[in-house]
Chain A
């Protein structure tokens, strides 16, 4: 919530045409690169190493949702060079001409170390792999308390089980919420048929009395504290929760899940395209990728990381390094256009107001 509140404050800043914090002030002599990434999404030490090696100072700003990031970049109030949005948002930004194609000659490490299957999956939102280099990826699944849930968890259906009334945590985001009933119906998570979507919404409304809360980042603390019996979480979050609370287990339902990818992109109006490429390439370097992986716990598309990883628990974790059949044939979110986006958001809002 704190971040949402901050985001609101920042929006009000934008409204008055005031450039927000960390904007392109007087850069002085030093070369700078402006990076806009998810909160806590890279090891701070990595930035220091980058500055030591290249002499380029990294100015890092953070966002908490793709949706709060987008207006700041689209309005052009702050000029960022490198951003790390998710799949469907990258597609939206490409479509709205906010990004520039990458020069892969300047990204030798990306070509060398980023797994081919991830570039292939990235084509769903970035055809031809022109704009984005995958940074983190994962799935969405159910994390559950083994002491409270004794039956096998392999289906999204369990989230509609009356037994767990008041014990279920759901993601508070339109796409992630609707993805679950859509998958249960055997439909695509990029569904645009309004009748199908209405049915999915109906299922969520039916589920609402069973839900304890709709959560975003708080989900981690709540599950670590055994506040609920189960919750819908991203695989990276699951890894953190499992470390803190050994009673928990994570399952990816058989109906299918979202194979999400966050990637590095360079903005159209980047002031320092060269430094931006250097930064992205640096993030793909195996020794740096390991540091980030250790810090984050999110699965990495970097194929060199597993061999370099020293923490055995992480190295052998099927959540951090799943076998290919977990993510094979899974869908990735696509940008469905402004109108459909709004439609999804309204469906979700009505579930919450209901």
Chain B
């Protein structure tokens, strides 16, 4: 569409942006991560992950991020299926309802969950009113997963919804004509066709869930530390940028692993390579 010269000019702002705000900071982080206080090269900071119980925090982070990703996936598929099968005018309202929470600051909505789940929170006051037993969810892993699912569900719904609505309805009708039942239709036709959407949804939920520190701090009561919390504390309280950066590097490795895995399973990639 553009000749080479205009293309380069149009690309320049992005390259400057990427260089200044992506590559330079990345180099800083890696540099801090592999040096000690005196600026000497050392892998000691990265080795710290095996001490101090940080590995447990990393394990817990991966675990909770996986659980919330699966939960988002299980919630989003039926919802998107229903949305696409409905009339168009209804879907705008329902999808708007899903995007709406994104307009509100996620910190605020997480704080709202805190007041909802507290021992004297909204749910428990309601339960007491009805003389029902109160429940205790705040400051548990369950509360953190709930916070993650609430915050990140829209990021699963949107790509899934888009890829589902792109499916030509005649393909589904053909599947039914040829005798596929609903389950077969879903697993043999819809699932493979929406896999790219699901994969980008998984990435968009898994990565923020893995790195969050706000949700776990607010809903975990400071008792459950995820790797994001430890990095945050290394920077703000311990004032140890070397350890903080080393942990960030390790976290980045996990994120890159996740992206490699998801692209490996992406069927569209092969199709793209043929061009």
Contacts and interface: CB of A to CB of B under 8 A. Distances in A.
Interface stretch (A5-13, A38-46, A135-143): A5-13
Interface residues of B, number: 29
Interface in A66-83: 67-68, 70-71
A346 B223 contact: no
Contacts of A8: 232, 235-236
Contacts of A21: none
Interface stretch (B53-61, B65-73, B183-191): B53-61
Interface stretch (A109-117, A180-188, A205-213, A258-266): A205-213
Given A68-B236, A227-B118, A349-B230, A214 B221 contact: yes
B233 interface: yes
B38 to A, nearest CB: 13
B236 A349 contact: no
B93 to A, nearest CB: 33
B236 A212 contact: no
Among B25, B214, B221, residue most surrounded by chain A Cβ atoms (within 10 Å): B221
B173 to A, nearest CB: 51
B269 to A, nearest CB: 34
B240 interface: yes
A7 B213 CA distance: 14
Interface string A329-354: 00000000000001001100110111
A10 to B, nearest CB: 10
B176 to A, nearest CB: 51
Contacts of B214: 1, 5
Interface in A191-216: 208, 211-215
Contacts of A213: 139, 221-223
B239 A353 contact: no
Kindly name the residue among A2, A345, A352 whose own CB sees the greatest number of chain B CB atoms within 10 A. Answer: A352
Nearest to A70: B239
A294 B235 CA distance: 35
Interface in B220-238: 221-223, 225, 230, 232-233, 235-238
Range, interface on chain A: 35 or more
Nearest to A16: B25
Q: Which secondary structure dominates where chain A touches chain B?
A: helix
A215 to B, nearest CB: 7
A155 interface: no
B119 A227 contact: yes
A4 B232 contact: yes
Contacts of B57: 353
A68 B236 CA distance: 6
Interface string A1-31: 1101101100100011000000000000000
Interface of A: 1-2, 4-5, 7-8, 11, 15-16, 65, 67-68, 70-71, 166, 172, 174, 208, 211-215, 225-228, 342, 345-346, 349-350, 352-354
Given A67-B239, A352-B223, 5 more contacts: A8-B235, A212-B119, A215-B221, A226-B120, A227-B120
10 contacts: A8-B232, A8-B235, A16-B25, A67-B239, A68-B237, A208-B223, A212-B221, A214-B223, A342-B240, A345-B237
Interface of B: 25, 28, 52-54, 56-57, 107, 118-120, 136, 139, 214, 217-218, 221-223, 225, 230, 232-233, 235-240
